Structure 1
Amino acid sequence: MSETVIGVIGGSGVYEIDGLEDARWQAVDSPWGTPSDQILTGRLDGVKMAFLPRHGRGHVHSPSTVPYRANIDALKRLGVTDVISVSACGSFREEMAPGDFVIVDQFIDRTFAREKSFFGTGCVAHVSVAHPTCLRLGAACATAAEAQGVTVHRGGTYLAMEGPQFSTLAESRMYREAWGCDVIGMTNMPEAKLAREAELCYASVAMITDFDSWHPDHGAVEITEIIATLTGNSQKARNLVAALPGLLGAERAPCPHGCDRALDFAVMTAPDKRDPALLAKLDAVAGRVLGA
């Protein structure tokens, strides 16, 4: 058994964890750059927690400029074992309505302006993301949300777009009808891929704020309605996070799905051909298999 350390990456409207004991904001140095913000650490019901505002306090980073590698690396350096991503999204499904939560289990990655891997020339690795989220962690998030009356959809495909603009009508129809996506957002990729490379269990809680542009009533939705839904979702998300320590416990067994062993057979570069400079940067992310 090891110690559970829950990391929460909060998206739009989610900037803190309520009720943290011994709470303090701390800077974490990363060889992959400066994280989005300092990280709020503390304990909740006896379980270690770390909270990172994805866009930075005051929403200073666009989806394209979020330092995803630095964020995941910093959480890993703090000993985080389980990462819960909380983010706003649009819906492609009538039955997935504003105010509902979707526990994402698949992604289609349409981003193109972001660094998507910790590995590269000098240390090549290929991890499997066939199942990019942790079913155990996702189930805990669903249970926590359902307990407070939130309508939760267990499973869904998230279309990750580059942004910062929203979809055209033609794109929205294609994602919904031809590609079979359920929700759309701008921030879960490459975050989920990087979490897998860092051997972190990762769950995505997508909070629906609106129907995307495919919906005939989309144009009639006022920004004030979206903000009101976002505000309501944010409180629900904080309540969800507050319930997780009780569900996950202070101790954890190895992940039954192998998230924490994703690098076992992933590194391809021969030991004598590995770049020492890159290995030094990988000390937190891949130290378990590289011997750092």
Structure 2
Amino acid sequence: MTQTVLDTEPDHSVEELEDLAYELRRLLLNLCGTYEGAVHIGGDLSVADILTALFHRGLRIDPNDIRNPARDRFVLSKGHAAVCMYIAMAMRGFFDYDDIVATYGQLDSAYGMHPCKVQLPGVEASTGSLGHGLPLAVGMALSARHRRETHRVVTLMGDGETGEGSVWEAAMAGRSQKLGNLVAFIDRNRQLMTSFAEERVMFEPYPDKWRAFGWNVVEVDGHDMRQLVDAIDALPDPTSDVPTVIICETVKGKGVDFMERNLAWHAGSLGAQDLERAMAALEASRNKEAH
């Protein structure tokens, strides 16, 4: 089948992506400080680098041609990280950040706590119920194969949701159907909503579980932009027959010291003092990493 030409912007350098990830975190904190309700800020911060790498380098997408059949499809399986995705997409040119801040969480807003493809064109799937993103991605990747299309289908899951049986049924189906056009990123921050992962669910030996299901397994530091870029650049061709999972070791609340690995910051809001403190912590973290 002839593929429609897809124009995308030139690749960003690792340094440029690091700057974009910092800006994404800054905008996240700003929204959390202006919204009166709770934002899932801990998990948003842990996926900021991953979403930056995807939307500014890894995904073949065009915000000016959102229905181009040649585009890559992205499914945010951990739907409660929607704010991070909205802002990443806004920074890529899909939406206006000020609109997100002005309307987030309001009745009839396109920017809900979980993404809705009906409300927000450019979002490929409505998500929120955990464990559903990979099954959706398998179906989308299989459909692409039947249509002889060569785009990728990418999903981002939290490690906690991979305790769902539906994830492993989908993992088995993805390998059985030889879906080399399927890529799963996992935010391995090792925290659930109210506990640390291994206290409630024994995930380890985690990478070996995916290998046992026949997947190509890549392990990276999910906050190291060079490793993320290298993993994306080394993905097998979409016409190959083995799906890939990229397991990203992350820190929940990354970049804000009083939120990092703190169960109290699964979700929350920031008053004026907390926002100032969080911004200062983010800046200090950036300066420390720069040196």
Higher RCO structure, 1 or 2 (CA under 8 Å, sep 6+): 1
TM range (shorter): under 0.3
The two structures have a TM-score, normalised by structure 2, of 0.28
Structure showing the higher strand proportion among its residues: 1
The two structures have a TM-score, normalised by structure 1, of 0.28
Structure showing the higher helix proportion among its residues: 2
